[in-house]
Structure 1
Amino acid sequence: MTVILRPATEADLMPVGALHQRSRAAAYASFLPPEALAEPGPDAMGQYWVERWRWERDEHRMTVAERDGRLVGFSYLGPDDEGDPATGLLNAIHLDPAERGRGTGRALMVDALTAMRARDRSRAVLWVLRDNVQARSFYERGGWTLTGVARDDRIGPALTTQLRYSRVV
């Protein structure tokens, strides 16, 4: 069946959290230790999205992807984290692990870029974990290029490095 993209609703946030947790665990397992991926669990990740959505829904956009009536992915975008009004930030694209390679991530990325254009953004940026080779390859195939900016953050007890990418919208 075809993937359907639609705006997220409050009812989607707990399932989005569970999907986010599964997606992270699968995508990061090859380079992060299990203890870094053990928490937050699906319920805590769902609560994270409920709370985040409460504060950000006016200036952010979440799109969910469904296949056969089942949530299989989501994207989340908003304003640039550095305050540039001409730039949009693609905060996340996450897929159910079984959905990889089926075109859903690409559909979510194209949808996010279209939404940024509609919001008069001329540039898009995102952060990706340096060691997430699959995600980096996905974005590079989509026209994203490294900016040369990096930052460190933690996932659980693990220190990670994130790289900033950009592209014209």
Structure 2
Amino acid sequence: MVHVRVREMDEADIEAVSAIRVRGWQAAYAGIVPRSYLDAMTVEEDADRRRQWFSRPGRESRDLVAVGDRGPVGWVCFGPPRSGIPGDGRAGEVYALYVAPDLIGTGVGRGLLDEAHAAMKGQDFETSALWVLQDNRRARRFYERAGYRADGGTQDDVYDDVTLSELRYRRVL
């Protein structure tokens, strides 16, 4: 296990988080998402979008970063459920979880997820939900080890004219 501390993300973390997210996509989704889509992703564009999102008034989501010796090495974003998540206001949603590709499997992701679960529980959510690409077997195993189970919900996303299915996973907090 790599030693990190988890804290709230701040604006100074945006570039690092964008690098983690873009590199995470490019590593995790190679062979799943079209290469053209992955190659077109840039840290700069992601950081611009993240700055806009991060500074949005009334934003209800929370962002946590795992910080190690080299700065942020992981990021999780979570909050109230978006569309497609049943639960009558008692379900929270993990929107995104990424770890620097060279640190996958070291416990950083699990630490971030545990902190997100604790925070959601503190916000009186009873369950947590998330979406994962059906073909992302590694992520599915990770979430299943953390107590998530596919609940039958599905949705499709299109990446460069290729339609990919996502599965909805849920767990009790």
Same fold (TM over 0.5): yes
Deviation digits for residues 94-141 of structure 1 (CA, Å, limit 9, x no counterpart):
011001111001001100100000000001100001110000000001
- Report the more deviating stretch, 55-64 or 5-14: 55-64
2:159 maps to amino acid: I
Q: Structure 1 residue 33 and structure 2 residue 34: aligned?
A: yes
Contact kept in structure 1, 2:94 and 2:129, CA below 8 Å: yes
Q: CA–CA distance in 1 between the matches of 2:58 and 2:94?
A: 14
CA displacement at 1:36 relative to structure 2? 1.8
1:63 maps to 64
1:53 maps to 54
**Any unmatched runs of 5+ in structure 2?**
none
1:120 maps to 124
Q: Structure 1 residue 132 and structure 2 residue 136: aligned?
A: yes
User: What is the DSSP-based 3-state SS (H/G/I as helix, E as strand, rest coil) of the residue aligned with 1:35?
Assistant: helix
Identity of matched residues, %: 34
CA displacement at 1:4 relative to structure 2? 1.0
1:145 maps to 149
CA distance 1:154–1:117, change in 2 (3 Å): same
Runs (4 or more) in structure 1 with deviation over 4 Å come to none
CA displacement at 1:42 relative to structure 2? 0.9
1:167 maps to 171
TM-score norm. by structure 1 comes to 0.94
